[in-house]
Copies of this chain bind each other. A is one copy, B any other.
């Protein structure tokens, strides 16, 4: 990012729109970066004004790097917008290896004609989310595509963090006998977005759970006498709980058995899912995590989760069992058992 050239009128953030010059790398692009992005995200690293931000190196551990493209539609939804979502989503991807997120990079692809007022709102929401999480946006890039070649704005964020030495939290670590925990109620994000898309309103408002989970993860790690007892962390976003558990089962070469009655879903989400023809097990979450741990620490971990504001609704939902199929099975409320398969089609496009 660069300093502003002289002799330009201030940008009209109330009535203005993005045009192709904002992506051309010249005067207008520099002005937009300075008057919007640099101002909102302001921090010592971004102020270096270089494409590559120079950053302090952690003293020990391993680096963690994660990237996530955000194409959610609509851009604004109950409980959030693409801006805060793009910060939370990538922080969570970094945190799911037990790492402390340190830095974020943001790449914007903006459609010509996009209202500057909307862009400003999104950028300010990102900035607020990054500040609240304590993870600065240290570098960025902005491109503009012609009207009809994009959809408002897409934001790809990349996070870098540091995992303490010795930690081994990984989708391949689930072991037979392990306990499966979830940090709270499922399905709010997907249902909030879908209801906005379908212009539905419900008696009880459903808002996205979008949130940065890194402090919850740190709380969980601190509660454990031996962090090696925490085997897997994963945020059930696209594809929901069902798909995420299937991924882990496959990677670890185990089966899982979950209990339908123990899976926390808000009644209004349950009702909305019925109306929308959705299964809450497959609906995306943006502020929840799944933890798979050794059975002897499950109670300790659950208590630690419940003591954190983002884990108050944490539940034990099942166990890892032996089998060679990599299946996820569910004991239903009616006493039967069924296989909970991967999401096979497209349940909710552009949900994140």
Contact = CB atoms under 8 A, between A and B. Distances in A.
Interface of A: 2-6, 19-21, 23-30, 48-58, 60-71, 73, 93-97, 99, 103, 105-109, 138-146, 148-151, 154, 156, 158-163, 170-172, 237-239, 243, 246-247, 250-251, 284, 326, 342-350
Contacts of A138: 65
Contacts of A159: 52
Nearest to A345: B21
A151 to B, nearest CB: 4
A188 to B, nearest CB: 17
Copies of this protein, total: 2
11 contacts: A24-B239, A24-B348, A25-B239, A26-B344, A49-B172, A52-B99, A54-B63, A54-B64, A68-B141, A145-B350, A149-B150
B48 A65 contact: no
A233 to B, nearest CB: 9
A191 B246 CA distance: 49
A141 B159 CA distance: 13
A139 B66 contact: yes
Contact of A2 (B49, B60, B106, B251): B251
